[in-house]
């Protein structure tokens, strides 16, 4: 992270000192969002607009040190939301960048909260350690607001790419595995959540079975989501944390063991159990540490991608054809409903978290950058919760059948909605903290505008990969279909980010991409494929 910070500095260049300072301040406040000066905005101007945006830095400063505890969030909370409208209104941009930026701020997801609280603490700690008066910062901030917006615009595209890369990587891993390891395309049975088989005599029977399967799966997901909300409402954090830890354990060890075994079988590599045990043990332990605690950003990202891919592979293997497509379609609809309807469980979760002014447990979120958290303590529970959620998601079906799928669904849905395009790194590393502390007090340091990252729920990764993997596994058009679905998903992601910028509120990441993906899959498979086949046969070129 220090490296990134340094890079950012050089990037900005010395002449842009003001902006740099501003950015740093902004970033600090927002937990990687660039926020416009919330600081100088008078308290009463702030209106309650939405989730916390990040600006807490101002309020934080005013808060005494003692507020580092949970009270802070509450205090901050009000400020945060108020802040939000301020920056929000000032933002006139429609570009993706700005959208991202703003949307991030607006985003209600827990993650945001999560980040916000983190941020707050950070800022708070920051100001404390630095002991700088906020005045100059505020002035600088004001000028920088406009610059800020422009900066965000510039970096908007960068954020999109920061999301493109991991999604692409995950899909590539899944497709590569599907193509080479035959285990994942063999039908070895079905999940307990999809009890109806699809090997029926008539088409009607098959359709009915798949509809029933999808209905069961979706209801399981809904139940799990509601359970999660209830648990959260009644503050049963321990339960949730334990759940997440177990699921991540299962995912990291058991699934990867199976995966490794299958890969070895495919390539006919002889391997003894001791070596395998050692490898899996190392992989799992490092993964647990990275995801739940601290670790290098790249490693954490890699682990998150790997577990998303593993989960997607499991889905591809154990869901029968029509059920899988139906589930994808229904899940995107559910995603849409749960995020946008006022009574949706996701929304309730977010609101509850907002009321309590605390960060929701860390759900699966993939974050592309790191933020420096001065306060490690806060970060830990967050990171833990976050990872737990993710692992929770991944929780194997094996151990808790009904849980696994539901958790997976519930979490992924929720988290992805909430987390949609959030900016803000989650973890902090000792270096970043050191870097932060080493920075001059005036600069809130830690974050460089370029450091801002984007967050996307891991459930999104999983379902995108499921779509592409299924396309590559079962399409007659093979690579053409896979490629078409891939491009469709990426474009859907772009559009989602754009909409996020325009609407500035939490949006689900699934619907648009999955819709595009499904449309392109069926269209390419049935329409384009024969056409291309004929063209290739005659060697015509279009």
Binding site for other proteins (CB under 8 A): 93-95, 97-98, 146-147, 149-151, 153-154, 157-158, 160-161, 164, 477-480, 483-484, 487-488, 490-491, 494, 520, 523-524, 526-528, 530-532, 534-536, 538-542
The DSSP bridge partners found for residue 367 are 455
The Cα 349–Cα 52 span in angstroms is 14
State in angstroms the smallest separation of the CB of 477 from other proteins: 8
Q: How far is the CB of 484 from other proteins (least distance, A)?
A: 6
Q: Which of 482, 448, 512 is nearest to 174 (CA)?
A: 482
Helix (H) or strand (E) holding 109: none
Reply yes or no on whether 188 is catalytic: no
Give least dist CB 139 to other proteins, A.
19
With contact defined as beta carbons under 8 Å apart, do 149 and 36 qualify? yes
Q: Which of 59, 72, 75 is nearest to 134 (CA)?
A: 59
The residue from 144, 407, 460, 525 that is catalytic is: 460
Burial 512-525 (b: 16+ CB within 10 A, else e): bbbbbbbebbeebb
CA angle 25, 30, 36 (to 5 degrees): 65
User: Among 426, 194, 191, which residue's Cα sits nearest to residue 293?
Assistant: 426
Catalytic site includes residue 335:
yes
Phi/psi of residue 422, nearest 5 degrees: -100, 150
**Shortest distance, CB of residue 296 to other proteins, whole angstroms?**
23
DSSP structure class, residue 44: G
User: How far apart (Å, rounded) are the C-alpha atoms in residues 480 and 406?
Assistant: 33
Rounded Cα gap, residues 461 and 109, in angstroms: 17
Nearer to other proteins, 372 or 516 (CB): 516
Q: Which is nearer to other proteins, 343 or 538 (CB)?
A: 538
Shortest gap between Cβ of 158 and other proteins (angstroms)? 5
**Between residues 11 and 94, which has the closer beta carbon with respect to other proteins?**
94
Which is closer to other proteins, CB of 250 or CB of 484? 484
Least distance CB 542 / other proteins (angstroms): 4
Is the CB of 334 or the CB of 486 nearer to other proteins?
A: 486
What φ, ψ does residue 367 adopt, rounded to 5°?
-115, 140
Please report how close the Cβ of residue 456 comes to other proteins at its closest, in angstroms: 16
R_g over Cα of the chain: 23
CB of 36 to other proteins, least distance (A): 14
Nearer to other proteins, 156 or 284 (CB): 156
Asked if 56 contacts 111 with a C-beta cutoff of 8 angstroms, the reply is: no
Q: Which of 335, 403, 408, 525 is catalytic?
A: 335
Q: What is the DSSP string of 260-325?
A: HHHHHHHHT----HHHHHHHHHHHHHHHHHHHHS---HHHHHHHHHHHHHHHHHHHHHHS-HHHHH
Instruction: List CB contacts of 85: < 8 A, sequence separation 6 or more.
Output: 46, 47, 48, 49
**How remote is the C-alpha of 279 from its chain's centroid?**
28
- For the chain, the first-to-last Cα distance in angstroms comes to 48
Return d(Cα 303, Cα 290) in angstroms, integer.
Answer: 8
For residue 74, which phi and psi values (nearest 5 degrees)?
A: -65, -45
SS3 content of the chain, % helix, strand, coil (to 5): 75, 0, 25
Helices (H), 341-452: 345-356, 376-394, 401-419, 430-438
Measured from the CB atom, the residue of 164 and 283 that comes closer to other proteins is: 164
- The first and second tokens of residue 323, run together, are 């059920």
Residue 133's SS3 state is coil
How far apart CA 244 and CA 400 sit, in angstroms, is 12
Nearer to other proteins, 106 or 417 (CB): 106
- DSSP-derived secondary structure for 130-149: H---SHHHHHHHHHHHHHHH
Question: Which CB, 345 or 453, lies closer to other proteins?
Answer: 453
Two structure tokens written together for 325? 């497509």
Q: How far is the CB of 431 from other proteins (least distance, A)?
A: 26
| 203/542 with CB nearer other proteins | 542
Cβ at position 491, least distance to other proteins in Å: 5
Q: What positions carry a catalytic annotation?
A: 335, 460
């Amino acid at each position: 992270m220090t490296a990134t910070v340094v890079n950012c500095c050089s990037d900005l260049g010395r002449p842009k000192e003001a902006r740099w300072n501003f950015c740093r301040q902004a970033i600090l406040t927002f937990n990687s969002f660039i926020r416009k000066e919330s600081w100088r905005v008078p308290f009463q101007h702030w209106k309650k607009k939405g989730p916390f945006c990040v600006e807490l830095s101002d309020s934080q400063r005013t808060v005494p040190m003692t507020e580092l505890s949970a009270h802070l969030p509450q205090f901050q909370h009000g400020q945060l939301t108020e802040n939000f409208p301020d920056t929000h209104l000032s933002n006139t941009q429609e570009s993706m960048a700005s959208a991202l930026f703003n949307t991030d701020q607006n985003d209600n997801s827990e993650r945001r909260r999560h980040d916000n609280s983190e941020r707050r603490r950070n800022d708070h700690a920051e100001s404390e350690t630095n002991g700088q008066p906020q005045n100059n910062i505020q002035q600088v901030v004001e000028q920088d607001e406009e610059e800020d917006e422009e900066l965000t615009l510039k970096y908007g595209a960068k954020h999109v790419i920061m999301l493109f890369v991991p999604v692409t990587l995950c899909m590539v891993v899944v497709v590569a595995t599907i193509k080479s390891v035959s285990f994942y395309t063999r039908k070895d049975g079905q999940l307990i959540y999809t009890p109806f088989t699809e090997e029926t005599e008539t088409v009607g029977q098959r359709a009915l079975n798949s509809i029933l399967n999808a209905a069961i799966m979706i209801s399981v997901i809904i139940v799990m989501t509601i359970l999660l909300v209830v648990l959260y409402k009644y503050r049963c954090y321990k339960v949730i944390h334990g759940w997440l830890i177990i699921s991540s354990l299962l995912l990291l060890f058991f699934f990867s063991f199976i995966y490794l075994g299958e890969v070895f079988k495919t390539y006919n590599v002889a391997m003894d159990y001791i070596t395998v045990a050692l490898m899996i043990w190392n992989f799992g332990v490092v993964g647990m540490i990275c995801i739940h605690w601290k670790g290098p950003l790249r490693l954490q990202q890699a682990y998150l991608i790997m577990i998303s891919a593993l989960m997607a592979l499991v889905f591809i293997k154990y869901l029968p054809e029509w059920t899988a497509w139906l589930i994808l379609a229904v899940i995107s609809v559910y995603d849409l409903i749960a995020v946008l309807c006022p009574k949706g469980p996701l929304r309730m979760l977010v609101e509850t978290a907002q009321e309590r002014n605390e960060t929701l447990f860390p759900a699966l979120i993939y974050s592309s950058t790191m933020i420096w958290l001065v306060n490690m303590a806060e970060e830990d529970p967050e990171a833990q919760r976050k990872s737990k959620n993710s692992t929770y998601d991944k929780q194997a079906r094996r151990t808790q059948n009904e849980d696994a799928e539901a958790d997976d669904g519930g979490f992924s849905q929720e988290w992805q909605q909430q987390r949609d395009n959030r900016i803000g790194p989650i973890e902090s590393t000792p270096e970043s903290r050191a870097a932060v502390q080493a920075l001059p007090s005036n600069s809130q340091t830690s974050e460089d505008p370029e450091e801002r990252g984007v967050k996307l729920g891991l459930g999104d990764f999983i379902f995108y990969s499921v779509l592409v993997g299924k396309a590559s596994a079962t399409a007659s058009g093979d690579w053409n279909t896979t490629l078409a679905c891939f491009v469709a998903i990426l474009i859907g992601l772009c559009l989602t980010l754009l909409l996020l910028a325009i609407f500035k509120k939490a949006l689900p990441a699934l619907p648009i991409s999955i819709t595009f993906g499904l449309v392109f899959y069926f269209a390419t498979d049935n329409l384009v494929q024969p056409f291309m086949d004929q063209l290739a046969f005659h060697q015509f070129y279009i």
